[in-house]
Structure formats: structure tokens, C-alpha cells
Amino acid sequence: MTTPTATSAKPTERELERHRRELTAHCYRMLGSAFEAEDAVQETMVRAWRSLDRFEGRSSLRSWLYRIATNVCLTMLSGAGRRARPMDLSSPTPTASAELGPPLPETAWIEPMPDSRTLTADPAETAEARETIRLAFVAALQHLAPRQRAVLILREVLSWKASEVAELLDTTVASVNSALQRARATLAATGASAADPAEPLTAEHRELLARYLDAFERYDLDALTTLLHEEATLSMPPYDLWLRGREDVRAWMAGPGIGCAGSRLIPTWANGSPAFGQYRPTSDGGHTPWALQVLEISAGRVTGINAFLDTERFFPLFGLPDRLPPGAAAPRFPEIGEAGQRLGEPEEAEHAP
């Protein structure tokens, strides 16, 4: 971590807001929820604004804000259950016996996060940050006790020194080092990990995404299956059912999922990964929201389709329209950082505390 030099000048509201995106990413890693992360950051800004007169500049503004945000998150996590992905809770279900069953509450799941809420326009920073907001990595963090989670994020994601983390958490360097060791051991014992590093988006990836969009919209399951890794997964929160293997995924799409035939896909970005707002057809020729698909890609194949079905919550968060009229134009795939604003909200909109 590069710590800015301390200053005696009181920070302005605009200076506080410059840290909103990185604080949102930090709170998201801690909480696993896009909405709780935004609430935590807003609370952080309110507390910071009210305490500006007491900010003496002995630490950097960034460190001070992280201290407030981390403590807000630790309070929010007190007594909260662990958020997860369907594959963290059960074994895959064979297609022949697959039934959705009752939905689990929204508090059970890792939620998707728009890239525009957490990533900057700097290509170097974006490439590094993408790995630390992926669904698999955020899910892995939820196996840790809250303070261990904070230590691991601050030390290994943000590269803070042990002494800086100790100061932030009002503890000792020895305690920080011990918590970090326990955090690493917990992840190793549970088998949780950050998985493979996020791959940069290349021309080949864009070609794969274009072929995926075309095959899905035509609902050409033969073409779609060729794009899937042999061990590709399909999950559908808020349901705990999930499938593994491209043949099982294909069988589901041809069976219970046949209502997705004729869907339209609107490209976006979530968790450092390509994503699509999926709209199913309606009787008037238009399309209505059905799922937010977050794709995982590796070695030129789609390895995971995470279909979040709570469109009433997620589509507004990602700035996706609430309906596609008949004959809507085909969209392009946005650059990272372009998607994710609320409808009508500029990318650099100010959020007053």
C-alpha cells in the first residue's frame, strides 16, 4: 500500500467522494452483498463527514476512511450468517432429478456487483482489482471470521503492512500476523480459494462472448454446448440447485429451462467478469427481465454461468432497462466501467453524505 502523506488541511466532501469506489470494493469483499456494501460506504461517508473537525491528519485520509469502513462492516457482520454460492452448499444435482425447490432468502447468497461501482478506468488497477472482486474469491472470503477476513483483505488484497493493519484494528502486530495465519489455514482446510487468476479480455474472449450471445439468443443448444467447458457449472440463486457438466447444463436448458428460448441478452460487467441481462419473450413481442448472467471464462471456454434471478433488485443496480420493447436494437458489449450506473445516473455522479 502506498500511504499518502498526512496533512493538517481538513478534507473536503469531494475528497471524501474520491475514495467511494475503492471503499465500495472493500466493503463488498467484507460483506458479499452489493446493497450492504453501498449501505456501509454511505454510513462511512456520513460518519467521516460528521467527524471532519476531529480529523487531525496524523494518518492519511485514505487510511482514516478504511478504518471507519472496516469497523462499519464488522458491526454489520456481527451475528450475520455466511453468504455463499449454491456450489458452496451442496453437491451438483443430476439433471434427471433436478427440481428448483423453494428459494432461499437473499441473505443466503453472494450477490453480484457492477464493475462500475468498484473498478477505476486505470487499466493496470482494473486488471489487478478484477481478481479480488470475482464471485469465487468473495465467496472464499466468507469462510473467514469477520476480523480474520478484514486482516486478510487488508494484508493480501490491499497490501497494507502488518503495523498499519494493527493500528486500524486497534490491536498488535503479533495479533494481526496470527489472524492472517489462521485465515490462510481456514481457507486451505475448506478447500476455498480464489480459483484461477482472472484472464485479461482479449480478442479471443470477445469472439467467445459474441458467439455465446448469438447461440443463446437463437437458443441453438448444439452451438451453445460447444462453448462450454466439459465441467461447466450452472447455478440459479435464490435456488440452491446447481448443475455441473455441459451435458447436464444442456439437458436443463432443453427441459425445465426451455422457457428461455427466444431470450434477448444485454451485455454488461459484474465482478470483473462479462455478464448479460437476460430478457425472456412476452406475448406482445417484447422481452421482460429474467436473470443476470455472470459468466466465468477460462482457456477459451465458459466454465460457469451464474444466473441471478432476482431481477427486481439487480437490474436497477446494473442500469438495465425494466423491459425491452419489440424490435429493440442489438447492443454492443460495453467497456469495463461503462455499465452499472443506475438509469440516468452519470458515471461520476456525486453522492452527498
Contact 323, 251 (CB under 8 A): no
Per DSSP, the three-state class of 31 is helix
Task: Give the total residue count for the chain.
Answer: 353
> How sure is the predictor about 9, in pLDDT bands with cuts at 50, 70 and 90?
low
Contact 66, 26 (CB under 8 A): yes
pLDDT value at 324 more than 70: yes
Q: Which of 66-75, 93-102, 278-287 has the lowest mean pLDDT?
A: 93-102
pLDDT value at 335 more than 70: no
What pLDDT sits at residue 197? 56
What pLDDT sits at residue 349? 37
Which has the higher per-residue pLDDT, 349 or 10?
Answer: 10
Per residue in 210-260, pLDDT tens? Answer: 999 999 999 999 999 999 999 999 999 999 999 999 999 999 999 999 999
What pLDDT sits at residue 148? 96
The stretch 38-64 carries a mean pLDDT of 86
Instruction: Quote the CA–CA distance of 353 and 270 in Å, as a whole number.
Output: 26
What pLDDT sits at residue 129? 78
What pLDDT sits at residue 195? 44
Percentage with pLDDT > 70 across the chain: 84
Per residue in 127-156, pLDDT tens? Answer: 677 888 999 999 999 999 999 999 999 999
What pLDDT sits at residue 119? 87
The stretch 332-344 carries a mean pLDDT of 51
Inter-residue long-range contacts of 176-179, CB under 8 Å, 24+ positions, other chains counted? 176/151, 179/147, 179/148, 179/151, 179/152
Cβ neighbours of residue 288 under 8 Å, at least 6 residues apart?
279, 280, 282, 323, 324
pLDDT value at 8 more than 60: no
pLDDT value at 3 more than 70: no
